[in-house]
Structures are given as structure tokens and as C-alpha cells.
Amino acid sequence: MAKKNSAITPLPSVETSVPAAWYSRFTDFDISLFKSGKHYKLYEKLGSHVVSHEGTSGTYFAVWAPNAKKVSVEGNFNGWNRASHPMQVRWDESGIWEIFIPGISNGEVYKYYIISNSGETLEKADPFALRWEEPPSTASIVWDTWYEWTDGPWMKKRHEINALNKPMSVYEMHFGSWVRSVESPDEFLSYRQMADSLIPYLKETGFTHVEFLPLMEHPYYPSWGYQITGYFAASSRYGTPQDLMFLIEELHKNGIGVILDWVPSHFPGDEHGLYRFDGTHLFEHADMRKGFHPDWKSYIFNYGRNEVKSFLISNAIFWLERFHADGLRVDAVASMLYLDYSRKEGEWVPNEHGGRENLEAISFIREFNEAVYAHFPDVQTIAEESTAFPGVSKPVYLGGLGFGMKWMMGWMHDTLEYFGKDPVHRKFNHQGITFSTLYAFTENFMLPFSHDEVVHGKGSLLDRMPGDEWQKFANLRVLYLYMFTHPGTKCLFMGNEIAQSAEWNFNQSLDWHLLEYAPHQGVKQMVTDLNSLYRSEPALYEKSFDADGFEWIEGGDAENSVLVYSRKGNDTENDILVVLNLTPVPRKVWRIGLPAEGKWKVILNSDDQHFYGSGLFNDQIVFSEEISWHGKPQSGLMNLPPLGGLVLKKVI
């Protein structure tokens, strides 16, 4: 940001009557919607907009600061003179300040200089700015989101691709650390450069969607994007808004959907950001028992304030409308739902009924989901929610929160705990691998192995597997086979698909050199083949959220740690059978119950040499016999590979 004038000039007094040459983008209806919390496209009104007024080109600025005594625009254009361009406050008690400044266009750097009613002076970036300076600079930049989109075919068929009865395999990634230049490892790839690298990789590995950790502007890179100051701006670290649009468009042209992480739960206390924006607790609760997040040392939005609801819901609509995002993964929903989240007794305030539920946040979440699906019925909202709160993915009209899906955090925790045990001890924790099916259909669940599972000393997924090197890789492969054949959609964090051996480090590229080694190549090929299987077998996705789509054939063999289950689609001819042997002991001539009479062929074997497995029992075909087993009238004999998973399908 350019150096500011050292001389601080007081602002002139501000008139509250309508000036003769007044220019505004707000109508009375806009103001009514804003005050009632129902204005869902505030980005068309607030912020900076290049316009023509009375034949003169310039920029219109509008900011919400109801407790300010005076507000002005300062920037390079006026030498950061705080007195030269005072704004006018609207006469309708909306708290909105406006000004039209001739001669300013895209690229102009600016901030708002605010004098609060208490006399406090603040310099704030624009909450609705469409572009920001690259951190550590903090000013806003006049910009637009004009882009000539050419992804029409994708948008027309998106309702089919994003449907709940279609496969969704999500590649979760942190933009700044997926890959970096070999020549300049400290430099980020731009949005446009990423298109050249990421798209071929996603097509090769077969993921249906990519999920970006927050790309909204954030001042502190180690926050991974979860401490946002510029809610309406794509991070300038990687390019312009149009550069991000280009990346999304290219992903769409190649059949890949885009999910953006969205953070309506909290924001940082940086002095140029939302915190105490006009000298008061404008966006956050004034009572820090409700307004401060002890875990992240950040501030919680005041969901009971109508104008704040308009801000947040407008932001969600903005990314879906202007950037063609195909979904929003909503971060830290549990922290929003409960007033006592991460708080000790006496550190929180009960709701009006004496309970711990945050009624204002619950109301906001429902309104957010209703607004999103009303405007974009072909997208998905996904909740990161870790509690037993009921109806997270049920429609609002049925009393739910209205999300399309919910992360299955309990499954993730139980599964990793089970697989982390030495196989000799797994029989004592058998319920850990079977318990999830007791509640798997209470919500529309997405199965996540996310970034949170490979940080803070937890180690990589590979490192968490027990045994020697061969067993670690075998465990990881069968873990992924279990994941992809378990009911629910899938989410895998970057690096897990190549068996990254070290924890994720946001300051460097993934360890792509590992693919020089056969075990890592094998895991990558395993994930690729699982994605292909998932997308091609309707039984794995048509009834992902329906109990009719899953049946235990044998779920109680704790002694041998063998699991057998069936996945079902709309057509019984597409049913598949899954057999898991979760010990390193090969099991020969093993009888299993079969869902139907016929010849069953192994179509995927995690122990195949193709995946760096032992290859002991490849190319098996199981013939049904009229021998009752596992409660089925038909059964067959087969060989179970060590630490292996098999997927079978009836061929006759």
C-alpha cells in the first residue's frame, strides 16, 4: 500500500439531508430488505462500483457504519488525505454512507477512514471489496467481477452431476501447498497456472469434484484460509478474481465440480478487518461470552442482527453466482450451534429457554440454506458438524438445518482408531469398524479424511497404519477400499492419494517425489481405480443415503476381523459384494454368504500386484452353491488376501 500522508486532517461535518447531486445504488426496497435481514445480493449495492453518473465516469462507494460520526474514502488517488472525500450518511437510518468520486476506476487502492461516535479513529478495508492488496498489505482495490463465462454445458447439466443419487468423490486441497515451482519453491502457483497442473491430475485420478480450503482473502497464511478478512475477494496471493473464474471454468469444461470452503462461524481481530468496524461491535456480539471464540482467538458473528445475516447470506450467494461454485462446505458448524462450545461453566450464556443451543445461529443456518437452494437448487451445501445435533441434512420444512450433506466425523474417528491398532488387537475393537452403519442413514453423510487428520502431530494416514512397510501400505489400501464401498459420498485430502509419508506442511509442496517408488505408485493407482469403480457401479451411489442400499452379510466375525457386506442400487443386477480381511493372515477356502445365485467375479482386489500388493489370490471367481451361510441360501468358497479387500459382482 502506498505511504499515507503523515498529516491527519479532520473531516468536515457531514450533512444528513439529501444532497443535490446525490447518487445511490440503493432503493427504499433495498434498505427495507437490508434492515430485515433479507437482502441476499448486497454485493450489488455495498462496496465500490465503477459507474457513470451524469455523464462522468467514476466509482461509487458505500459502507455500513451506523455508529460512525464521520466516514471518508482515502487512497492513492487523494494522497491518503482523510478530509478530501467525506461520505454522506443516508437519511433513512440504515447506517449506510455513500459517495461518488469522479475519475476513479479499477485498480485504485483505498480504505475507509472512520471516526466513531466516541471519537475513536479507525482505518478499515472495505468488507465488500472484490479485490485486496496482497498480504501483508491490507488495503482494498476497486475491481469488478465481470467475466464472459463459457461453461454453459456444465451449468445446464449440473443438477444431474450434483444430485444426491450420483457419485461425489471430492479432492480436498490447500491451494498454496499442493504443488510449487521446482525452480522457485517459495512461490505459489497462480490460479491460471494451477489449471495446467491440477486439471490433468484430477482427470487422471478420477475425482468428481475439487474442494478448495478457503480462497477468500485472509491476512495470515498459516491460518490455511480460515481467518478471513475479505469475504468477497479471491485471495490476491494467486491472482485476480477473473483468474480464479478461469480456473473454475476450465475445471467445469473438464467435467470437474468445484466446492469452496466457507467460514461464517468466526473472523479474526485484525485492525483493518470486520472487528469493531465502526468503533462498536458491529459484526460480532458485544458480549464476549457469545462473541469471542476461545479456540481460534477470533470473533463470532452476531447472527441475531439482521444486517449481519444479510452480509453473510449475500456472501454465500456471491460465490455461487459470480464464481459458479457448485457447492459450499461450511466450516465449524458445531461451534455455531452451541453456546457452550469450548467454554467452561460460567463462560457462556444460556438461551432464552435455559438451553445451550444458539437459537440465533440455528435460525441463520436454516435461512442460509433456504436462500441458497432457492437461488441455486443444483448446488450442495455440506456441513462440517461433529455432534449428534439432529436433522443437519434434513430439509428446513421438516425441522432440519437444510444442508445437503454432513461430514461423518464419527465414522472418520472410529475408522482411523480401528485401523491404527495392530491387527492382532482389532478383534477387541470390532465394534469400531461396524458401529457406523447403525447411524449411517440418519443423515446424508460424506466420509472425510480431511486436512484435520494429517496435522498437529497426528502424522500422515500412512504413518498411522501399524506394521512394517508392506503392512502399512496394505492397511492404507484396504482402508480406502472400505471408504469407497461404505455408504456416503467421499472426501480425501491432497497427499493421501499418494500415501504422503509426512504430515501436511502448508509451507511447501506435497512430496511428489514419492511417486518414484512402487508402494506410493500403488496407492495412487488404488485410489484411481476406486474412483473409477465408484463412478461406474450404480450400487455404490444410487442409494448412498438409504438403508436399502446396504446389507451386512457378515458383520460379527470379530475373531477373524473379516467383514462381508453388500451394496445395492436400483437394479439388483448391479448389486456388489465387499469382503474385507483386516488381518495379515491369508484365509484360504473361506465360505461367504452370497446375495444371489450365480457366478461372482472379483472386480477389484486391494492386494493386487498392480497396487504393490502380494498378488496371492488374483482373478478369483466364486461359484454359488445351495449351502446356507451367513443367513443366505446361497454361498461360495473363496480365498481372502492378507490385509486385503475384495469387490465382487455377479457376472451370470
* Alpha-carbon span 105 to 102, nearest angstrom: 9
Is 165 in a helix, a strand, or coil?
coil
Q: How far apart are CA 286 and CA 277, in angstroms?
A: 12
Question: Is the Cβ–Cβ distance between 257 and 263 less than 8 Å?
Answer: no
Is the C-alpha dihedral spanning 121, 122, 127, 133 positive or negative? positive
Are 238 and 190 in contact by the 8 Å Cβ rule? The answer is yes
Catalytic residue among 243, 278, 367, 384: 384
Please say if 270 is a catalytic residue. no
Nearest C-alpha neighbor of 192 from the set 217, 209, 175? 175
Amino acid at 101: I
Which spans in 169-235 are helix H?
191-205
Return the H-helix or E-strand segment holding 592: strand 587-594
Q: Is 349 helix (H, G, I), strand (E, B) or coil?
A: coil
Read off the C-alpha cell for 565.
457386506
Sign of the torsion formed by the C-alpha atoms of 175, 177, 179 and 180: positive
Exposure letters 294-333 (e unless 16+ CB within 10 A, then b): eebebbbbbbbbebbbbbbbbbbbbbbbbbbbbbbbbbbb
CB-based burial, 221-241: b 16+ in 10 Å, e otherwise: bebbbbbbbbbbbbbbbbbbb
Run of H or E residues at 243? helix 241-253
249, 331, 360, 497: the catalytic one is 331
331 among known catalytic residues = yes
Record the cell numbers describing residue 411, joined without a space: 465414522
Residues carrying an active site annotation: 331, 384
